Structure formats: C-alpha cells, structure tokens
Amino acid sequence: MTSPLQQKIKITGPSVVTANRTIDGVVVYRSADQRWATDLAEAAIVRDAPTARALLAEAAADDVGAVGAYIAPVLIAADGTVLPGNLREQIRRDGVSITLPSVR
C-alpha cells in the first residue's frame, strides 16, 4: 500500500482532509485542533500543497482514530459555508442519494 504521504499532492482550490472513522466507518474530517469531526464545517481548510501535506501527515498519524485519510476538494460559499467539492464528497457528507429500503 502506498502511504498517502508518498503520493503527489496537487490541489487546485480549498481542500480538507477526510477519512472514515475506524470504529464504525463514519465519514470524518480533520479539524484545525487535531480532532476528527463529523461535521464538514469543523474541517481545517487548506489552500496550498505544503499545508495540505502537513495536515494529511498529522491526520494519517492517527491511524487508530480514522482510516484512509486523503485530501478532498471543497467549495466555500459566499457566506463562508463549506460545501463538498464534488458529487462523491457530497454523497459522503449527506449519505446515499436514495431512500433506504428500510425506511420506505
């Protein structure tokens, strides 16, 4: 497995570090105060490759807390709200785009 830290880091806009929480797989984001947060609003925003690399390294070191950390794009709305940067990240934040069979 290539460690995320060995991968080339290229970012084109504001980004966050996201992963899945080890105990239950829930989507989490790395916060500025070095926690895993479930709310995207609490994610640390990085804007250039060196900062992104540092955040990723710090986050990936917490292997017990969360797995598969990577850098994901976000959009910042005019009012400052942080939004997922693509459909995949939107689905990760919001959950499946369908109604679950069990709640029909």
Partner 1 sequence: MYVYDEIDRTLVAERVAEFRDQVQRRLSGELTEEEFKPLRLMNGVYLQLHAYMFRVAIPYGTLSAPQLRKLAEVAQRYDRGYGHFTTRQNIQFNWIKLADLPDALAELAEVGLHAMQTSGNCTRNVTADQWGGVAPGEVEDPRLWAEILRQHTTLHPEFSFLPRKFKIAITASEHDRAAIKIHDIGLRLRRNEQGETGFEVLVGGGLGRSPFIAKTIKPFVAGRDLLSYVEAILRVYNQYGRRDNIYKARIKILVHELGIDKFAAEVENEWRQLAGGPLTLDDETIADIRSRFIYPDYPPLPDAKELLAQASASEPAFATWLANSVAPHKQPGYAIVTLSLKPVGAPPGDATAEQMAAIADLAERYSFSEIRVAHEQNLVLPHVAQRDLPELWHALEAIGVATPNVNLITDIIACPGLDYCSLANARSIPIAQQLTRRFSSAAAQALGQLHLNISGCINACGHHHVGHIGILGVEKNGEEYYQITIGGRADQKAQLGELLGPAVPFDQVADVIEDLVEAYRELRAGPQELFVDTVSRLGVEPFKERVYATRQ
DSSP-based three-state secondary structure for 98? coil
| Dist. CA 90–CA 40, nearest whole Å | 10
Among 9, 11, 14, 22, binds partner 1 (CB under 8 A): 22
Q: How far is the CB of 67 from partner 1 (least distance, A)?
A: 4
Q: How far is the CB of 22 from partner 1 (least distance, A)?
A: 7
How many chain residues interact with partner 1 (CB under 8 A)?
Answer: 26
19 exposed, middle or buried (CB, 10 Å; 0-12, 13-18, 19+)?
buried
Q: How far is the CB of 38 from partner 1 (least distance, A)?
A: 11
